[in-house]
């Protein structure tokens, strides 16, 4: 393979850190509107005529980058056990911190119940099961009941369920020996896109309520598998850049039409990966605060609204943003960076050869 097609060294972090941090704050910004009862005023929702908001677009970006990076991780070390251990060490410790702190500190300070009643309530301790990702309890007893967006303590945690499931899919496909076929990832993305379009644009949703959750999974699986396919693609290819420009132009031209959402699910992930790969915004020397911002944003916004229920979306963004960044800083330096020290190392083969080629070499 012509190495000149990949001008950046493997140690270059590109713009992945910067884009993820920007996406995390975009989610926080987007949440300022529904949390203050002004969901329809979210700027991107208005600009796209209800097609997408900053929050949804940012989540698509997260899933695209995740699909790209975890697929690369698999090719560097194709072990399902070590792969899942790395993923869980990245997700669970910080999740435990935010869930426990929310139940004990945030809930204890903001509940309308007495301390005795709150800490003896079974739902207080049942909330801790959210550390297992899949439990769906959103509220704590007497907490945020008078907020404009009541009861929900941390509405951002829903995305961890499809995220972990997709990690397991990558591990299974890798273990089965079929992940190396790039067309499989492309097929998974297109099948997910088609299924989402069929379910969304028919009356089947009105007959099967559970399909709402299925569509949420499908629309986030699309950018994930697009990212996975790009992890095995020569990103310097002129054909890829031309395709990206064409799909991007079509997406913008068709804003407000039924075709906008499906096109966005393709153009946004491709554009994100190209920008992240060839852009330069390496924040790794400061720490990776994006996950902490994502985990803590909603909680801090609800806390701010508890004490300042009439705050405007703009003021909420800046006040909660500062509080969130502080908590993300604490989460990274107190929890996350230490948990990552336990990530398993790959086993080298005889002669010091790597276990597997890098993702961009595995085309």
pLDDT at 126: 96
Residue of 45, 24, 22 lying closest to 33 (CA atoms): 45
Is 1 within a domain?
A: no
Phi, psi of 36 (to 5 degrees): -105, 10
Alpha helix (H) ranges present in 237-361? Answer: 238-253, 260-278, 290-307, 313-331, 337-339
Write the CB contacts of 267 (distance below 8 Å, at least 6 apart in sequence).
Answer: 244, 247, 248, 250, 251
| Domain span holding position 280 | 12-345
Expressed in percent and rounded to 5, the helix, strand and coil fractions of the chain are: 70, 0, 30
pLDDT at 157: 95
CA distance readout (Å), 150 to 88, 99, 155: 31, 18, 11
Write the CB contacts of 310 (distance below 8 Å, at least 6 apart in sequence).
Answer: none
Q: How far apart are CA 5 and CA 210, in angstroms?
A: 46
Whether 267 and 57 have beta carbons less than 8 Å apart is answered as no
Whether 332 and 287 have beta carbons less than 8 Å apart is answered as yes
pLDDT at 207: 65
Residue of 221, 227, 316, 213 lying closest to 277 (CA atoms): 227
CA distance readout (Å), 224 to 38, 86, 207: 30, 18, 28
pLDDT at 352: 39
> Using only C-alpha atoms, what is the Rg of the chain?
21
Is 3 within a domain?
A: no
Q: How far apart are CA 319 and CA 300, in angstroms?
A: 9
Whether 241 and 230 have beta carbons less than 8 Å apart is answered as no
Taking only the tens of pLDDT, the chain with its 363 residues reads 344 333 343 334 679 999 999 999 999 999 999 999 998 899 999 999 999 999 999 999 999 999 999 999 999 999 999 999 999 999 999 999 999 999 999 999 999 999 999 999 999 999 999 999 988 889 999 999 999 999 999 999 999 999 999 999 999 999 999 999 999 999 999 999 999 988 887 776 656 666 778 888 999 999 999 999 999 999 999 999 999 999 999 999 999 999 999 999 999 999 999 999 998 877 777 889 999 999 999 999 999 999 999 999 999 999 999 999 999 999 999 999 999 999 998 765 444 333 333 333 333
Is 363 within a domain?
A: no
pLDDT at 118: 97
Tokens in use for 77? 């070390």
Is 208 within a domain?
A: yes
pLDDT at 20: 95
Q: Provide the Cα torsion 167, 168, 171, 172; round to 10°.
A: -140
DSSP state, 69?
Answer: H
Is 285 within a domain?
A: yes
The structure tokens 């790969």 sit at 277
pLDDT at 210: 64
DSSP state, 336?
Answer: I
Question: What's the pTM value of the predicted model, to 2 decimals?
Answer: 0.90
Write the CB contacts of 298 (distance below 8 Å, at least 6 apart in sequence).
Answer: 28, 31, 35, 152, 153, 154, 155, 156
pLDDT at 206: 58
Is 222 within a domain?
A: yes
Q: How far apart are CA 209 and CA 242, in angstroms?
A: 40
Is 352 within a domain?
A: no
| Measured CA angle at 42 (ends 266, 47), to 5 deg | 55
Q: How far apart are CA 61 and CA 310, in angstroms?
A: 31
pLDDT at 357: 36
Overall domain count for the chain = 1
Is 195 within a domain?
A: yes
Tokens in use for 50? 């209800």
How many other β-carbons are positioned within 10 Å of the β-carbon of residue 16? 24
């Amino acid at each position: 393979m012509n190495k000149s097609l990949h001008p950046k060294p493997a140690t270059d972090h590109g713009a992945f850190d910067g884009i993820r941090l920007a996406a995390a704050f975009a989610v926080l910004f987007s949440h300022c509107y529904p949390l203050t009862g002004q969901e329809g005023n979210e700027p991107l929702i208005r600009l796209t005529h209800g097609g997408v908001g900053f929050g949804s677009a940012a989540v698509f970006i997260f899933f695209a980058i995740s699909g790209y990076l975890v697929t690369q991780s698999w090719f560097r070390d194709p072990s399902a056990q070590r792969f899942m251990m790395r993923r869980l060490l990245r997700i669970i410790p910080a999740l435990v911190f935010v869930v426990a702190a929310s139940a004990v500190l945030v809930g204890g300070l903001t509940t309308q119940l007495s301390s005795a009643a709150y800490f003896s309530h079974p739902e207080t301790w049942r909330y801790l099961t959210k550390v297992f990702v899949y439990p769906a309890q959103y509220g704590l007893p007497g907490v945020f009941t008078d907020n404009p967006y009541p009861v929900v303590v941390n509405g951002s945690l829903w995305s961890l369920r499809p995220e972990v499931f997709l990690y397991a899919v990558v591990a299974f496909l890798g273990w089965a020996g079929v992940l190396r076929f790039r067309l499989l990832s492309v097929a998974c993305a297109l099948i997910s896109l088609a299924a989402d379009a069929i379910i969304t644009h028919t009356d089947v949703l009105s007959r099967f309520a559970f399909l709402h959750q299925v569509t949420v999974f499908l629309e986030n699986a699309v950018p994930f598998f697009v990212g996975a396919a790009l992890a095995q693609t020569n990103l310097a290819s002129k054909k890829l850049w031309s395709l990206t420009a064409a799909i991007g132009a079509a997406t913008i031209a068709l804003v407000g039409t039924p075709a906008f959402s499906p096109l966005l699910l393709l153009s946004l992930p491709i554009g994100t990966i190209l920008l992240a790969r060839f852009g330069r915004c390496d924040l790794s020397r400061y720490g990776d605060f994006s996950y902490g911002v994502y985990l803590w944003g909603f909680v801090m916004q609800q806390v701010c609204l508890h004490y300042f229920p009439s705050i405007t979306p703009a003021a909420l963004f800046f006040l909660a943003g500062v509080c969130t960044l502080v908590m993300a800083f604490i989460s990274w330096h107190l929890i996350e960076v230490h948990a990552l020290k336990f990530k398993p190392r790959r086993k080298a083969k005889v002669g010091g050869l790597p276990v597997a080629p890098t993702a961009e070499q595995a085309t």
